[in-house]
Structure 1
Amino acid sequence: MCTCLQGYDLIGITETWWDGSYDGSVGMEGYRLFRKDRQGRRGGGVALYVNDQLECMELRLGMDEEPTESLWVRTKGRTGTEDICYRPPNQEDQVAEILYRQIGAASCSQVLVLMGDFNHSNICWRDNTAGHKQSRRFLECIDDNFLLQVIEEPTRRGAMLDLVLTNKEGLVGNVKLGDSLGCSDHEMVEFKILRTARRVHSKLTTLDFRRADSGLFRDLLGRVPWDKDQRGSQAKMPRGLNG
């Protein structure tokens, strides 16, 4: 119903709790489905629906390592990657480091949008600080890969667990938090991926010395009185100016 009303191009879902028994019931007409179910036990899982009008392919970022609950999909025309990720609250440090390496590889894309439930409830995004070791390591990964976090309001019971990260300022806009979907206790996050990210203009000015009037410069410099050095000899002008 939400898809029909809003016409989303991308739909990311965390904690799907799917397994093989759902294979015939989770498809949606007009969308290509990418999914990764939790293996070995119940719970978790992520899914990403992509409008079938968009050319897309799943990326294999470090998938030869221990699997993480993350999907990395590149869509043609956006020259970048849209991703969905779920970080379990009890995730081991080793698995977290695999995820951070995947984020590092994905951040090399021209355009990266990473969304998901990261379960870092103790991060203060205003001050960029955290009270837990794992959360501080997550902040280091974000800083090392120059990612921006755009969610500003809590998404679950006063905690900001669901995040949207991007590597381009102005790429993500119109961020809105909606009602919960079904029996989920997380609020839905809706946003737009803009076609042209806002560029940050540098105020640094670079001088082109090849266009300088060297003759005028030598004339002006020649009018400056020169002091004697300690040996009593006339101080010399730079070789490049006096020939």
Structure 2
Amino acid sequence: MVEDIDPHIIGITESWATPDISDAELGMTGYVMFRKDRLGRRGGRVILYIKESIQAYEIKFKKEAECEEAVWCNIVTGKSTLTVGLVYRSPNISMEENEKIHNAIKEVSKRDCIIMGDFNHGHIQWTSLQSTGREDQEFLNLVQDSFLSQHVLEATRGENVLDIVLSSQKEFVDNVKICEPLGCSDHNQIHFIIKVKGERNRKIRYRNKFHKGRYKDMREYLAKIDWNNTLKNKTATECWNILKSEIDCVVDKFVPLKKQGKRSKKKHLSKEAIIKIKYKQMMWKTYRHTGSEEVYKEALNQATAEIRNSKRSYEQKIAFNIKHDSKSFYAYVRSKQKVQDKVGPLEGSDGNIITEGFLMAENLNEYFSSVFTREDISILPVLETKFEGERV
């Protein structure tokens, strides 16, 4: 469960993507999911979650660079794009699949990119740029020949650096932190900041505070309108438009606005659970410096148990109060639904990527209207008379 982080991009590889774990259980609401499932074998896939507020779309490569367990996306960053890739390279990978990964990295490195994942090259010393073994040396040569920077220098599983972050420009990645494993995974988390200017479609939203509306002033304003003359000789549609316009006007004048804040996604976590999570993180840092694992494991078990108890108590509470507060119950149920794909960005007929809402709507309208059949109505057939006689 991703309980205590709220990143903009999340990459999940290997055992965390087994079929036993559903998308809803991972708790990735508010994200767009890009995934690549392992074919022909049980379990395993790579999943890349990108926040809905970020314009992103998946890209494909030619057959010689189409990896079995890798997903690639373009993120719109102002007037340019940043390619983000998530790769899982199995330790038992075939030569053909290994070559595809190398081809994909060569292709992506020609543009602004960030590549992350579990590559299982544990014998590379990234501080000195030395390695042992043919495959490790080939990968190190690939990274250097592609002018990529590798940012993870601490061990991510045991004493090995298996999970890495590559970037085409060193300044793209900052503040890399190795954090405690997520759940029962044996790999440490990697947190880092991507320093690019993103094009985000998040807008500040406001809502009316009707409970603080000045309804006395509203009635006086509406009473001054001569409705008989205003609506005289008007059609039903025209009357409705006038009435709607006046209602909108009085709402804007006499009902104050309130900026919509960001809703908490941790309602099911009690204060005790949040304290336990923070304590677990502190003990992880202590374990990394001292090597004392017992204290961290105890804190981890306590945090896990408290999260489960807090979630169970919250679910029982909203289920018990469903008759009085059905809104909270159904909001929680909706939050557990699977991630829904959003529309766009789209590729236009000229091959350019369209990200603006109006242009995407126009593009979809043009595409679907192209299949409409245009009938020739200049020459219409004459209907054959079936009945002859006088009308009654």
User: With structure 1 as the length reference, what TM-score do the two structures score?
Assistant: 0.73
Structure 2: how far apart are the matches of 1:37 and 1:24? 17
Quote the residue 2:6 is aligned against: 7
Q: 1:48 touches 1:71 (CA, 8 Å); kept in 2?
A: yes
1:67 Cα offset (Å): 3.9
- RMSD between aligned residues: 2.2
Q: Deviations over 1:118-144 (max 9, x none)?
A: 001111112212111111111111112
Structure 2: how far apart are the matches of 1:28 and 1:132? 39
**Structure whose alpha-carbon radius of gyration is higher:** 2
- In structure 2, list runs of 5 or more residues that go unmatched: 198-392
Q: 1:17 touches 1:38 (CA, 8 Å); kept in 2?
A: no
One-letter amino acid matched to 1:188: Q
Q: 1:44 touches 1:86 (CA, 8 Å); kept in 2?
A: no
Structure 2: how far apart are the matches of 1:99 and 1:62? 12
Question: In 2 relative to 1, CA 158–23 (structure 1 residues): closer, same or farther, beyond 3 Å?
Answer: closer
Structure 2: how far apart are the matches of 1:108 and 1:24? 36
Structure 2: how far apart are the matches of 1:161 and 1:85? 12
1:24 Cα offset (Å): 6.3
Quote the residue 1:240 is aligned against: none
- In structure 1, list runs of 5 or more residues that go unmatched: 197-243
Q: Deviations over 1:96-149 (max 9, x none)?
A: 11111111111122x211100000111111221211111111111111211010
| Equivalences for residues 13-162 of structure 1 within 5 A | 13-15=12-14, 16-19=16-19, 22=22, 28-63=28-63, 67-77=67-77, 79-109=81-111, 111-162=112-163
| Equivalences for residues 191-210 of structure 1 within 5 A | 191-195=192-196
One-letter amino acid matched to 1:90: N
- Percent pairwise identity: 36
Q: 2:10 touches 2:48 (CA, 8 Å); kept in 1?
A: yes
Q: 2:60 touches 2:66 (CA, 8 Å); kept in 1?
A: no
Structure 1: how far apart are the matches of 2:82 and 2:65? 23
Q: 1:38 touches 1:69 (CA, 8 Å); kept in 2?
A: yes
One-letter amino acid matched to 2:51: N
What secondary structure does 1:46 align onto?
A: strand
Quote the residue 2:173 is aligned against: 172
| Greater share of helix | 2
| Greater share of strand | 1
Larger relative contact order, structure 1 or 2 (CA cutoff 8 Å, min sep 6): 2
Structure 2: how far apart are the matches of 1:23 and 1:120? 29
Question: In 2 relative to 1, CA 157–135 (structure 1 residues): closer, same or farther, beyond 3 Å?
Answer: same
Structure 2: how far apart are the matches of 1:23 and 1:158? 31
Structure 1: how far apart are the matches of 2:43 and 2:153? 27
Question: In 2 relative to 1, CA 20–182 (structure 1 residues): closer, same or farther, beyond 3 Å?
Answer: closer
One-letter amino acid matched to 2:110: C
One-letter amino acid matched to 1:139: L
One-letter amino acid matched to 1:42: R
Q: 2:118 touches 2:164 (CA, 8 Å); kept in 1?
A: yes
Structure 1: how far apart are the matches of 2:66 and 2:83? 21
Counting matched residue pairs gives: 194
Q: 1:27 touches 1:33 (CA, 8 Å); kept in 2?
A: no
